[in-house]
Amino acid sequence: MPENTDGIVRVAIADDHDISVTGLSEIISEIDNFKVELTASNGKELYDKMLVAKTLPDIVVLDISMPVWDGYQTIEAIKAKWSNIDFLIISMHNHELGIIKMFRSGAGGYLMKNSKPQEIKKAIIAIHEHGHYFSEVASMSMFNKLRVSDSHSFLTEKEMQLLKYCASGLTYKEIAVKMKTSERNLHVYRVSLFEKFNVNKREELVICAIKMGILYID
């Protein structure tokens, strides 16, 4: 399959609601150098179209609930065939287990369908540039139910505590208050976490921990 060399960021959309496909296509097409090239009503249809496409999409935007192949099956199949494609989930549901499962399947971001166009654009750009987008909806809906696995001895107690708080919408200053520590100490814990997970950003840390099963929901 030829690589994209013209500077265009190609996007594919799979959703069984025509109005969602149309709306997302219009929003994404407003971003400079982004182009929606493939659309489908379910994951299997999208996969089949990708098999014969002249160029692959850089980003796939998916719903979770679709006939034939749902979002989970679609990511699994596409990842197995083309490992370098990024995924953004846009769904009507914000169930915590579903969000966790999608991140563990390989999604880089999760938005609600009622998200404002500006946030959808922000997420698409972030997925393209960094491979991930951790929205406020995802973080706040998950935080109270997240658990940190105690089977990972390479993390200290303070690092495990900070790891969970990183999945919340709190600022580092607010986290320091919650953890009853100084911002200087918090910085030490944060640097250590970033080094251990080989990441540079808070969002990367959370998604990496979710994918590794260190952050989970009972």
Encoded amino acid at 43, one letter: G
Task: Give CA–CA dist 163/91, Å, rounded.
Answer: 26
**Model pLDDT for residues 6-59, shown as the tens digit of each residue:** 789 999 999 999 999 999 999 999 999 999 999 999 999 999 999 999 999 999
Distance, in Å, from the CA atom of 187 to the CA atom of 63, rounded to the nearest integer, reads 37
**Which one-letter amino acid corresponds to residue 102?**
M
How far apart CA 196 and CA 176 sit, in angstroms, is 20
Q: Which residue has the higher pLDDT, 19 or 139?
A: 19
b/e 13-33 (16+ beta carbons within 10 angstroms → b): bbbbeeebbebbbebbeebee
Domains (ranges, CATH) in the chain? 9-137 (3.40.50.2300), 144-217 (1.10.10.10)
Q: Is 170 helix (H, G, I), strand (E, B) or coil?
A: coil
Q: Is 54 exposed, middle or buried (0-12, 13-18, 19+ CB in 10 A)?
A: exposed
Q: Tell me the per-residue pLDDT of 89-113, one tens digit each, with 9 for 90 and over.
A: 988 876 667 777 788 888 888 888 8
Q: Which of 70, 168, 62, 38 is nearest to 113 (CA)?
A: 62
* Residues whose CB is less than 8 angstroms from the CB of residue 4 and which lie 6 or more positions away in sequence, other chains included: 10, 55, 56, 58
Which pair of tokens denotes residue 52?
């014969």
pLDDT at 190 over 90: yes
